[in-house]
Amino acid sequence: MIQLKNPSQIEQMKKAGRITGEALLVARDHIREGISTYELDSIIRKYIESCGAKPSFLGYAGFPGSACISINDEVIHGIPSKEKILREGDIVKVDVGAFYKGFHGDAARTIPVGKVDEESMRLITVTRSSFFEGIKMLKPGNRIGDIGHAIDAFVVRNGYSTVKRYIGHGVGHELHELPDVPNYGTPGRGARLCTGMTLAIEPMVNVGTDRVRELSDGWTVKTEDGKLSAHYENTVALTADGVLNMTLIEEDF
């Protein structure tokens, strides 16, 4: 069952969303060559806890980190590690959740380490833009398929592929709620969109094939062909006044 949120619940979710978005800004400000993903994860955890919240991912289905931190051809769910050291030219996907007073926020960004090549920056930009193409379709009476179709069509027009195996989702009291929100779809199909829906919309975009593989650690997902991948996610609410982006703190990030 899709859990619609009333205005007071959305106000409460905004607080969890803001902590989540701020944690990503903290991550961005600490990403540099030489830092380990373990150290970065510790910084994110300390910030979330300093706000009186809990990291949504820590212990979720046994996940050992507070954030998923994935590098280059790692798509999602990278486990923080002391052995994973960031290098100049890497692109780093940081996926963060914060649980605050009964609600979750969930958001992700792809962040360059120092100076990266033109293709990497284009991939990051297209992935971010595909999210905003998707939420143009977030209107009462539209369907979930309208969102996914808009994302996928934009990605394909730009010469990339959209990951099909992993998708967005509803979010609220639980980290993962209905409805599923694929980053592809058929216009006019899927659950009808209505006021009170709170969704984590999260395009995952690959330079090459959309096919991915899960590593033996049971979490880390990589592109099958070893080419780069980017990820961009926000928690949004469909309200009577339009779309409310609860995890976007700075417009250019």
| pLDDT score for 253 | 78
Kindly state whether residue 11 falls inside one of the protein's structural domains.
Answer: yes
Kindly state whether residue 252 falls inside one of the protein's structural domains.
Answer: no
Question: How many folded domains does the chain comprise?
Answer: 1
Of 112, 63, 90, nearest to 220 by C-alpha is: 63
| pLDDT score for 59 | 97
Burial (0-12, 13-18, 19+ Cβ within 10 Å), 159: exposed
Kindly state whether residue 250 falls inside one of the protein's structural domains.
Answer: no
| pLDDT score for 211 | 98
Could you say which DSSP state residue 167 is in? -
| pLDDT score for 80 | 98
* Digit-coded pLDDT (tens) for 176-214: 999 999 999 999 999 999 999 999 999 999 999 999 999
Kindly state whether residue 2 falls inside one of the protein's structural domains.
Answer: no
Distance CA(189)–CA(173), nearest Å, equals 26
Kindly state whether residue 211 falls inside one of the protein's structural domains.
Answer: yes
Phi, psi of 192 (to 5 degrees): -80, 140
| pLDDT score for 251 | 74
| pLDDT score for 188 | 97
pTM: predicted TM-score of the whole model, two decimal places: 0.97
Q: What is the CATH number of the domain that holds 35?
A: 3.90.230.10
Structural element, H or E, at residue 92: strand 91-100
Phi, psi of 21 (to 5 degrees): -65, -40
Phi, psi of 98 (to 5 degrees): -130, 135
Give pLDDT < 50 ranges for the chain: none
| pLDDT score for 250 | 84
Distance CA(24)–CA(7), nearest Å, equals 25
> Domain residues for 217?
7-245
